[in-house]
Structure 1
Amino acid sequence: MDPTHVADQYLQVWNTTDPEARATVATAVFADDVSYVDPLMAVTGREALVEAIGAVHGQFPGFTFRPAGPADGHHDQVRFGWELGPEGTAEAPVAGFDVAVLDASGRIVAVHGFLDRVPV
């Protein structure tokens, strides 16, 4: 398990704006029954997560996710920080970190998200 690779794949899904392409990319990254929870939403199932990601794109059009610091992990868990903002901004308006739990095939089965900075 390479924590940086897992984080990069995860952020790739979140940065894919086309719904069909996002669903395709998500198939390789997330298990069918993935669960996702953060302070603002909780969803179960890859299809529901793909739709939730689309809603985030609607709320923050033109913003992209980028890593914030190195990813690390142990056993079947990876944690990584991220930022969400317009390309080229020094400090993104939204930041947090996620902990992803992987299954035996390396796909994400659960995500526990935390928000560190959100717009008021």
Structure 2
Amino acid sequence: MNADLEKTWEKYTSAWKMTSKAERLAIFSEVLADNAVYTDPLTQAASWDELINYMEHLHQQIPGAHFVTTYFMSHHQKSIANWEMKTQENITVGTGISYGEYDDQGRLVSMNGFFENNS
């Protein structure tokens, strides 16, 4: 089950690299529960549309922004992941930790990002 959660996590993080709403929705339909919520120091997204808007806003600020998981651990339908935020040139511009919770079908119901907020 833990390997399945890691696959779910990696599929979810791949949505951050996508550039179209359709691509993100396709990924979300595979790995997110309908009621999934996202939080980090800058936002709270209570719907898929709100999360997609946040992803688009990030890409306006950092074109090609995406995340690379550097460490993943899970148990009891919960996970933590260390990650690096990269530019389209693959330059690391930030690091952080995320905590996820999963439903009985292995879909994410909660994604919580932690990183330094210098704004």
Aligned AA (1:79): I
1:100-119 aligned at under 5 Å gives the runs 100-116=100-116
Aligned to 2:72: 71
Aligned to 1:80: 81
Given that residues 94 and 119 in structure 1 are in contact (C-alpha distance below 8 angstroms), is that contact kept between their aligned partners in structure 2?
no
CA, structure 1 residues 75+31, in 2 after alignment: closer, same or farther (shift >3 Å)? Answer: same
1:1-120 aligned at under 5 Å gives the runs 1=1, 2=3, 3-68=5-70, 70-86=71-87, 87-89=89-91, 92-116=92-116
Q: Percent of counterpart pairs with the same letter? A: 26
Tell me by how many angstroms 1:62 deviates.
Answer: 2.3
Aligned AA (1:23): L
CA, structure 1 residues 40+98, in 2 after alignment: closer, same or farther (shift >3 Å)? Answer: same
Question: Secondary structure, in 3 states, of the residue corresponding to 1:17?
Answer: coil
Tell me by how many angstroms 1:7 deviates.
Answer: 2.4
Question: Secondary structure, in 3 states, of the residue corresponding to 2:15?
Answer: helix
Question: Secondary structure, in 3 states, of the residue corresponding to 2:110?
Answer: strand
Aligned AA (2:72): A
Tell me by how many angstroms 1:37 deviates.
Answer: 0.9
User: What does the per-residue CA deviation read over 1:10-63, in whole Å, with 9 as the maximum and x for residues that have no partner?
Assistant: 211111112211111111111111111110101102222122112111121123
Q: Which runs of 4+ in 1 moved over 3 A?
A: none
Question: Secondary structure, in 3 states, of the residue corresponding to 1:27?
Answer: helix
Structure 1: stretches of 5+ with no match in the other structure: none
TM-score using structure 1 length:
0.85
Structure 2: stretches of 5+ with no match in the other structure: none
Tell me by how many angstroms 1:119 deviates.
Answer: 6.6
| Distance in 1 between residues matched to 2:63 and 2:114, nearest whole Å | 21
| Distance in 2 between residues matched to 1:5 and 1:20, nearest whole Å | 21
Question: Secondary structure, in 3 states, of the residue corresponding to 1:84?
Answer: strand
Aligned AA (2:11): Q
